[in-house]
Amino acid sequence: MKQTTVYILLLLLTACQSKDKLDMALEYAGDNRAELEKVLEHYQGDEMKYRAARFLIENMVGHSGHDSTAVQQFQAIYDKYVAISEKYNWNVATEWQKEIDRFWSENRYKVLHVSSQKDIRVVRADWLIREIDRSFKAWQENAYTRNAPFEDFCRYILPYRYAEGICIDNCRDVFYQRHAHIFNDTTRSISIVIDSLHQQYSDQLYCDMAAVDMPIYDAKTFEYIKRGVCDTKAWYNCLQLSALGMAVAIDFVPAWANRSGAHTWNSLIINGETYPFEPFNDWERWKYKQVYNNESFDRYWGRFRAAKIYRRTFEYYLEGPLADPKVNREDIPPLFLNPFMRDVSNEYFKTVDVNISLSRPIKKNIKYAYLCIYGNQGWIPVQWGKIRKNGKVLFKDMGKDIVYLPMFYQNGNLLPAGPAFLLDSNGQQIILQPEKEVKPITVSTYTSFLLPDEILKLEAMLKNACLCGDNDPEFSHPDTLVCLPRNQEAWGNEITINNPSQYRYLRLDLPADSIGLCEIAFYSPASDEPIQPTKIISTNLHSTNLKEDIRQIMDGYSATGWRGKANQKGFICWELPKSCSIAKIKYYPYIAPHFIRGKELSLQYWDNAWITAGTQRWEKGTLTFNDVPQGTIYRVRTEGTNDRIFTYKNGMIQWY
C-alpha cells in the first residue's frame, strides 16, 4: 500500500480521536480549503443541504481520481481499440482478442505512471454545489426513493464517487438530462424500469478476454469502447442511477468460498431493502438474492457460497485492525486496509458468529486473527477478529456451509493459527485435520466448476426420472416413490421420500433413452448408511464406454460412474436384501473424468501446510492415490489450474 494512503488513514484515525471530522477534512484540504468553505457558507440557511455538504466534505479525505487530461492523453489508445472493434463488427472473436492484446501490450507502458489527485484538494465550490443541488432535485423527483431516510440519501444518491481513480466530471448532469423523470411512477416494477433504461445501453458488454487492465477513467470513455468488466459497469451504473435519484450501491464478494474468483454487482436500496442485480443487461440479472443466499443452487451456474459480502461506501468506517494504533499496517491484509466498505452479508444470507480457540502459538505483537477461505490456489482472508487474552477469537456474521481456516497475518504472510473447519449448514463447526487412519482416495477432476451447458446436459439425463417400488420383481403393481426434480446438483443430490410402505425391488424409469450416474444409494428410515447389499438385477441400457461398468454406480465412489443408452426409454432395476421402507435417496450425476492430459498432478492434503500424498500423470479415467490420511481437506494440484478443495468420506467427495 502506498505510504501516502497509509498517511491519510492514520490521519483519519487521529482525527476521530482528537478533533471534529469536518475540521480535520478542511485542514487536510490545504490550499483548497477556501473552496470547500464556500460550499458550507452557501448552504448556511438550508439545514438539509448543509448536512449533505458536510457529509461529502467530511468523507472526502482518502478519495482520489485522475484529472480529465488523463483521458485526453490516452484518447489515441481508445481510438485504436474502437477501430479494431469496428473492424470485427464489435464481435469479441479470437482474432479480435489477439489483435487487441497485441496492440495493448505495445501501449501498456504509457498508462503505468498516471498520477492521481486527491478529491479534497481539487474539488471546486461551484462544481460541488451543482452536484448537491441536482442530487436533491433528482431525489425528490424519484417516486421510489423520495421518502427514503436522509441517511440513505447521503449514502446512496448524494456521492459523486463510487470508485477510486475515476475522473471528477459532469457525467451525472449528462445522465440527468438524458433520463430525468423515468422513476416517477411506482406502479411500474422497478426491475422493469431499470431494464428498460439499460436496454438503451445494451451495446455495453462484459469482456475479460483482452486488455482487461486497460484503465477506463470516465463514463464517456466506457460508452465509447463499450467493453469492460463488472467493476467498470458497476460504477458506471451507480453514476447513472444516482444522477436520477435512485439509491444505488456496489456490493462485492472478495472471493467465493466454493469456486475461484470474485464478483462485483449493483444493488438498489428501497425502503430499507436491498435489491441486487447483475451490472450488465443480462436476462437473469435480478436473481442474486436467490443465488447468493448460501442455501440454494442455480440451474445454470450451480452452487454459490459466500463467506462475506461487502458494500463499497463513500463514507469511511474505521474498525478492527485498521482502527487499532497498536497494529502495524504491514500486518493487515489488503482487504481490511480499505476503510470505504461495510459488511452487508446479513442482507443476503443467514449468518452466524464463529467463536474459536487458536491452537497455534501467538506472538506478543499479534493482536488479530483472520478467517480465510480457499480462493485462487491459496487462502484469502475475509474477516478479522480480535484475539482475547484466553486465545479465543470471535468472527462476526459468517456465511455457512463453508470451509474456513484461521490464520495470522504478518509482513504480508499468512500463517496458520488453528485447524481448518467446516461451518456446516446448521452453523456447527466440524474440525478438519489429518487422522492416523490412511485410505485410498479416488478422484476424477481438480475442480467443481462446470459451465452452464455442462450443467444442462446433466439435467437432461436425469430430470423427471421416477423411482418405483414393488415386491414383485416383474413390477406388476409398482408404486412411484419419487420423481427426480428438474434442477440437478452436479456434485450430489439428496431427496427425502415420505412413503412408509416396504419394497423389495426398486426401478428407476427414465424419461429418455440414456442415463449418466456416478453414484446412487438408498436409505431406510433413521439410518445414515445405505441399504446393503443392493444389487442391480436388470436394465435395458447398454454401456456407451467399454471401460465403464454399470456396477460403478453403486461401488461407493462418487468419482467413478457409468453412462448407458437404450433403444427406447431406459430403466434400471435393483433388488434389496429384504423388503424395507425407503426414506431417502442420494445420487450423483455423471461427470466424465477430466484433468490436463500428460501433465503431472499431485494429490495434497492440509496439515498446517499442503502436504503431497502422491504424484501421477493422467491419460484417461479416474486416479487413485493410496495411503492418504483421512479426515482433512484435499486438493488436486496441477500447473495452470484453479483447483478447489474437497473433503472425502467413505468414497464420497464433497467440494468446497
Does 443 share its domain with 420? Answer: no
Predicted confidence (pLDDT) per residue in 363-373, tens digit: 989 999 999 99
Q: Which residue has the cell 460508452?
A: 223
pLDDT at 455: 86
Residue where a domain terminates, one of 562, 587, 612: 587
pLDDT at 19: 66
Does 231 share its domain with 248? Answer: yes
Would 555 be classed as within a structural domain?
Answer: yes
pLDDT at 163: 97
Does 174 share its domain with 224? Answer: yes
Predicted confidence (pLDDT) per residue in 399-440, tens digit: 999 999 999 999 999 999 999 999 999 999 999 999 999 999
Predicted confidence (pLDDT) per residue in 88-122, tens digit: 999 988 999 999 999 999 998 887 677 889 999 99
pLDDT at 598: 85
Does 125 share its domain with 263? Answer: yes
Would 114 be classed as within a structural domain?
Answer: yes
Predicted confidence (pLDDT) per residue in 506-558, tens digit: 999 998 899 999 999 999 998 999 999 999 999 999 999 988 999 999 999 99
Neighbours of 355 (CB within 10 A): 12
Does 163 share its domain with 307? Answer: yes
Does 516 share its domain with 607? Answer: no
Q: Which three cell numbers stand for residue 427?
A: 452453523
Neighbours of 469 (CB within 10 A): 26
Residue where a domain terminates, one of 288, 311, 334: 311
Nearest one of 475, 478, 465, 445 to 516, comparing CA atoms:
465
pLDDT at 70: 78
Question: 217: which residues sit within 8 A by CB, 6+ positions away?
Answer: 65, 66, 68, 70, 71, 165, 166, 167
Does 558 share its domain with 615? Answer: no
Question: How far is residue 155's CA from residue 178's CA, in Å, rounded to a whole number?
Answer: 23
Would 454 be classed as within a structural domain?
Answer: no
DSSP per-residue codes, 555-583: SS-TT--EEEE-SSS-EEEEEEEEEE---
Predicted confidence (pLDDT) per residue in 584-641, tens digit: 999 999 999 999 888 899 999 999 999 999 999 999 999 999 999 999 999 999 988 8
Instruction: Give yes or no for a cis peptide into 533 (omega within 30° of 0).
Output: yes
> Inter-axis angle of helices 33-42 and 125-141, to 10 degrees?
40
Q: Which residue has the cell 491484509?
A: 333
Would 455 be classed as within a structural domain?
Answer: no
Dihedral over Cα of 54, 55, 60, 65: its sign? negative
Does 361 share its domain with 275? Answer: no
- List Cβ<8 Å contacts ≥24 apart for 330-338: 330/410, 330/411, 330/412, 331/365, 331/366, 331/368, 331/409, 331/410, 331/411, 332/368, 332/409, 333/370, 333/381, 333/409, 334/1, 335/254, 335/381, 335/382, 336/381, 336/384, 337/1, 337/9
Which helix H or strand E contains 232, and what residues bound it? helix 230-243
pLDDT at 15: 56
In the chain, the number of structural domains is 4
Question: How far is residue 115's CA from residue 66's CA, in Å, rounded to a whole number?
Answer: 7
For the cut 80, the answer to whether the pLDDT of residue 300 exceeds it is yes
Predicted confidence (pLDDT) per residue in 563-583, tens digit: 999 988 999 999 999 999 999
237-255 mean pLDDT = 98
Would 133 be classed as within a structural domain?
Answer: yes
Would 111 be classed as within a structural domain?
Answer: yes
For the cut 90, the answer to whether the pLDDT of residue 12 exceeds it is no
pTM equals 0.94
Nearest one of 481, 485, 473 to 582, comparing CA atoms:
481
Torsion from C-alpha of 640, 642, 645, 650, nearest 10 degrees = -70
For the cut 60, the answer to whether the pLDDT of residue 61 exceeds it is yes
Does 485 share its domain with 577? Answer: yes
For the cut 80, the answer to whether the pLDDT of residue 69 exceeds it is yes
Does 267 share its domain with 278? Answer: yes
Are the beta carbons of 475 and 505 closer than 8 angstroms?
yes
Would 452 be classed as within a structural domain?
Answer: no
For the cut 60, the answer to whether the pLDDT of residue 355 exceeds it is yes
Does 175 share its domain with 37? Answer: yes
pLDDT at 71: 83
Does 274 share its domain with 204? Answer: yes
Question: How far is residue 587's CA from residue 224's CA, in Å, rounded to a whole number?
Answer: 50
Q: Are strands 368-374 and 248-253 parallel, antiparallel or unpaired?
A: unpaired
Q: Which residues pair with 601 in a beta bridge?
A: 616, 638
Predicted confidence (pLDDT) per residue in 161-170, tens digit: 999 999 999 9
**Predicted confidence band of residue 321 (pLDDT cuts 50, 70, 90):** very high
Predicted confidence (pLDDT) per residue in 206-232, tens digit: 999 899 999 999 999 999 999 999 999
For the cut 50, the answer to whether the pLDDT of residue 3 exceeds it is no
Predicted confidence (pLDDT) per residue in 18-47, tens digit: 568 899 999 999 999 999 999 999 999 999
Would 300 be classed as within a structural domain?
Answer: yes
- Supply the mean pLDDT for the chain: 94
φ, ψ of residue 610 in degrees (nearest 5):
-85, 120
Are the beta carbons of 141 and 245 closer than 8 angstroms?
yes
For the cut 60, the answer to whether the pLDDT of residue 4 exceeds it is no
Q: Which residue has the cell 451456474?
A: 301
Look at residue 251 and give its three-state secondary structure: strand
pLDDT at 113: 72
**Predicted confidence band of residue 9 (pLDDT cuts 50, 70, 90):** low
50 vs 487, residue with greater confidence: 50
For the cut 90, the answer to whether the pLDDT of residue 283 exceeds it is no
**Predicted confidence band of residue 2 (pLDDT cuts 50, 70, 90):** very low
Nearest one of 375, 450, 402 to 294, comparing CA atoms:
402
241-268 mean pLDDT = 97
Count, residues in the chain = 656
Residue where a domain terminates, one of 311, 346, 368: 311
The single-letter code of the amino acid at 614 is: G
Boundaries of domain holding 604: 438-447+594-655
For the cut 90, the answer to whether the pLDDT of residue 68 exceeds it is no
